[in-house]
Chains A and B, each alone.
Chain A
């Protein structure tokens, strides 16, 4: 790592100047600061400055019991908290070789996919807001609200769910929930064309997103970009398919991918993913068995010494939790490999030479959650 650059706000001889994008800019969706070196409207260099939201999540987790750390992992990606809980409980279950009852597996998948749709909807609304359209935001929130209501119904919380437990769930779901999920799937399928009418075909949107921020396939692989951004660059890589966890191999779904690698491709991937998530939810509701929702596990979790790496596909990409246990009740070492951090790393390269307005379009299309970057 090189020494941190120093910044001066005075413009240089040739008229270049520095611009602070953030840390409180509506286009950065959190406390991200990007120092831009500008030549008029064009960006010469972009330099993300991180750490405003740093909370030492890894260290906190190392100082807590396995169960106590569970509420904390949700705080990293508050928009895809289910996947984070899932990664944490699956990592511990793998370490302790716990079995999870079928019913719990189905509910977990259902909850994670609902959460994924909610996250994509929020991204959709916020991204269009970045591009200057306000109506889509409200449209997305109206539908997202229904998902939050569903998840609140089973978990009691709207964002930081903390619903999974080692060996199962905190509470069972009832038939009312399953019927409501079915209704939502049907209803949302009917409303999806509206999204396409409103935005996907829109000529202004096309001009703003087509051929903007192109991630070439080798760059995507080199920077460790994952999730919809990687799939927008032509790799159909999805952890749910490549290393199935939590019973994802039981469900039929496709991994949508686009070749172009621009903002529009990432947009299309996410839109297609929502449909796939609906398909997964539908199958999970149809095949959910009766039975226990929580396996009997020891009250005090004391995994055998060893290490485990658990990869999970969050709405933003691949999350890996690496955990070392020394046989005590607290993890000896925890490492989170978060998708947003890796996805942000390519931003500097994409923003170079772009218009400022396009840089915002690119930043939005990477779909980052800043507390996850900083963690």
Chain B
């Protein structure tokens, strides 16, 4: 009886192994799930949350931010430093300095949501690399945007 059980165990065991191998071989000839990065990239969804970036006003090209400080206050990690001034002829302030400490940012998105001017958006930049952390400690989000101030 024991010998019979032993043999039956070997047979059912072998069958189970073959069944598993069938799955493995089926996978071997199936289409790969991976993409060959960096030659190919996987699609990014529209809501992808990269580091934040500053949007420009369509008319003036200046940053949309009017330095209300709401994003800096809501940020859980205190990553945002923002300062603004009033250009001579206008009532609203415009940001002169907007620094992001990306080393501390948790990409939570609360700042983007809290901005009354809808001045912030997520970038689609995910392959950030640098030689030292200072490169990401004070990221200047106003870079490349026009400014109403003369320096």
Contact = CB atoms under 8 A, between A and B. Distances in A.
Do A and B pair up? The answer is yes
Interface of A: 64-65, 67-72, 75, 135, 138-139, 142, 145, 149, 152-157, 160, 162, 170-171, 194, 197-199, 201-204
Contact of A162 (B17, B22, B45, B109): B109
Interface string B8-25: 010011101101101110
Given A153-B45, A156-B48, A203-B17, A64 B76 contact: yes
Interface string B21-36: 0111001000001000
Contacts of A149: 45
B19 A152 contact: no
Contacts of B12: 203
B27 A139 contact: yes
B17 A142 contact: no
Contacts of B107: 157, 160
Interface of B: prevailing SS: helix
Secondary structure at chain A's binding surface: helix, strand, loop or mixed?
A: helix
B106 A156 contact: no
Contacts of B16: 201-203
Contacts of A71: 76, 106, 108, 110
Contacts of B137: none
B106 A160 contact: yes
Given A70-B108, A145-B33, A160-B106, A201 B47 contact: no
B74 interface: yes
Contacts of A69: 76
B143 interface: no
B113 interface: yes
A171 B47 contact: yes
Contact of A135 (B19, B27, B74): B27
A142 B45 contact: no
B109 A156 contact: yes
B122 interface: yes
Given A154-B47, A156-B49, A198-B23, 12 more contacts: A71-B76, A152-B48, A155-B47, A156-B122, A157-B49, A160-B106, A162-B108, A197-B20, A197-B22, A197-B23, A203-B9, A203-B17
Given A69-B76, A72-B76, A139-B27, A199 B110 contact: no
Interface of B: 9, 12-14, 16-17, 19-20, 22-24, 27, 33, 45, 47-49, 74-76, 106-110, 113, 122
A194 B47 contact: no
B67 to A, nearest CB: 19
A162 B77 CA distance: 15
Contacts of B17: 202-204
A207 B41 CA distance: 42
Contacts of B109: 156, 162, 170
5 contacts: A135-B23, A138-B27, A197-B19, A197-B22, A203-B13
A149 B43 CA distance: 10
Contacts of B47: 152-156, 171
Contacts of B45: 149, 152-153, 156
Contacts of B74: 65, 67-68
Give the top 3 A-B pairs by smallest Cβ distance, nearest first: A203-B13, A71-B108, A156-B47
B140 to A, nearest CB: 24
A70 B75 CA distance: 11
A63 B19 CA distance: 55
B126 to A, nearest CB: 11
A194 B24 CA distance: 10
A198 B24 CA distance: 8
Nearest to B47: A156
A64 B106 CA distance: 15
B48 A142 contact: no
Contacts of A70: 108, 110
Contacts of B22: 197
A226 B76 CA distance: 32
A197 B20 CA distance: 5
A310 B76 CA distance: 23
Nearest to A299: B114
A142 B33 CA distance: 6
A319 to B, nearest CB: 20
